[in-house]
Amino acid sequence: MQKQLETNQNALKKLHSIVQSLEQAIKFEQQKQQKQALQQDRTKKRLRTISTNRSQGPELGM
């Protein structure tokens, strides 16, 4: 009985460790996706600005 209890406790510790690793991986992936979304948003704004500037006609000195 004691041996089974120790085995179960060890299994729980391993599962807990796996869960923590998965949580860290999820947080990392979420942060990565947030950074990507921010970068895409900046790129869209930059492209919109470039497009707007071009549609306003030729720049001075050209």
**Tens digits of residue pLDDT in 2-35:** 999 999 999 999 999 999 999 999 999 999 999 9
Q: Provide the whole-model pTM.
A: 0.64
Helix (H, G, I), strand (E, B) or coil at 60: coil
Torsion of CA 8, 13, 16, 20, to 10 degrees: -160
On the CB side of 26, CA atoms within 13 Å amount to 6
pLDDT confidence of residue 57: 65
pLDDT confidence of residue 36: 97
Q: Which residue has the tokens 């807990």?
A: 16
Residue with the larger pLDDT of the pair 45 and 15: 15
pLDDT confidence of residue 53: 79
Residue with the larger pLDDT of the pair 42 and 60: 42
